[in-house]
Each structure stands twice: as structure tokens, then as C-alpha cells.
Amino acid sequence: MTYGERFEEALRYAARLHRAQLRKGTNTPYVTHLLAVAAVVGENGGTEDEVIAALLHDAVEDQGGAATSEEIRRRFGEAVAATVDHVSDTDVFPKPPWRERKEAYVAGVRDAPRSARLVSAADKLHNARSILRDLRAEGEAVWRRFTGTKKETLWYYRALVDAFGAAGGLEELVGELDEVVGKMESEAA
């Protein structure tokens, strides 16, 4: 499979939306995360729509809420917008409380369409890899980056592994996520 002009436009659009954003607690441009998630989706058999959704998966949550969702729908179609909407934990500003959002997100994973689970699992895998790498480099200081405490963050990732596993259909990707989360848990203990 090759990607066409819609992918190129999504890449430009994602880069524009997130150009001033950095990864939490780092000097790493946020777009690197979007590219990594898109790569994981593509490497796990994702369609062009799913790879585009991966590039845009944080746009609604971080860059404009419902208006951005509508712009994605207009530019890239219903399938991409629906996946992005499923993967977003909120389109409301200010965001609802952290625990409430995360519990709702985990509960929604089991019933989410496969496209949304693929993009979400890829997102969580890249996030978990980043946390593990930074935990090894910085130690306990890494947990201060997040709204949730260390215990809550570890709960969230373990709950996601369980929810993705229960939903089925992404065994290899979920297995890799489980492995990385297990290392996070061991090194955080």
C-alpha cells in the first residue's frame, strides 16, 4: 500500500496544528509522537485512513475541540474523524478531571471500533515506550510530568492493556504494550 495526497495533507495539517507543542516535560517537538504513532499503525496493517487518524489523534483533545473535529471531518472524511473522535478522551475545555476522563476512556476501549483501538493502542504503546525510556534516564522525576500520580498513571496503562486484551483483535500490538507496561511497573517499584 502507498499513501496519497490525503496523507500528505494530513501530515502538513498535523504539523501546523501541533507546531508549538512539545512532549510533556521535554524539549521534543510533539509532532515526533504523531509520526511515531502513525508508524506503529502503518506497521500493524493500518489503512491510509487509520494512519491519517494516527497523525491527527490528539488534534481534537489538544488543538481546538469540537471545531477541530469538524475540520478533520471536512478535510479527511467521516472514517478518519470518527476514529479521531473515539481516540480523544475529551473535546471539552477545560478538560474534566483526570481520573474521570481516564476511567471513561478505558471503559470505552472494549466497545470501540477496531480502527479506534488500533490507533489508541499505537498511541499508548508510544507513550509507554517514552515513559519507560525517560524513567530509566531521569528516575522518579518523570512522574511529575503527568496530571495523574505515579500510581494512577501505572493503573491507567495496566487498565488499558486489560481493556485492549478483552476487546481482542490486536494481539501482537497489545502484547508489545503489555511487555512495555510490565517493564514500567517493574522499574517504578
Spot the catalytic one: 50, 61, 71, 176: 61
pLDDT computed for residue 158 by the predictor: 98
pLDDT at position 26 is 87
Is 178 one of the catalytic residues? no
- ∠ at Cα 143 (140, 146), nearest 5°? 170
Positive or negative CA dihedral for 88, 89, 92, 94? negative
- Give the pLDDT score at 1: 82
Check residue 91 and give its pLDDT. Answer: 87
**176 in active site:** no
Predicted TM-score (pTM) of this structure: 0.96
Average pLDDT along the chain, 189 residues, taken 10 residues at a time: 95 97 91 98 98 98 94 98 95 91 96 98 98 96 95 98 97 98 96
Q: How many CB atoms lie within 10 A of CB 23?
A: 16
Residue ranges of domains in the chain: 5-188
Top-level CATH class of 5-188? Answer: mainly alpha
Neighbours of 159 (CB within 10 A): 17
Query: What pLDDT, on the 0 to 100 scale, is given for residue 18?
Result: 96
Residue type, 93: F
Residue 13's pLDDT is what? 98
Catalytic residue among 62, 85, 103, 138: 62
Helices then strands, counting H and E runs in the chain, come out as 10, 0
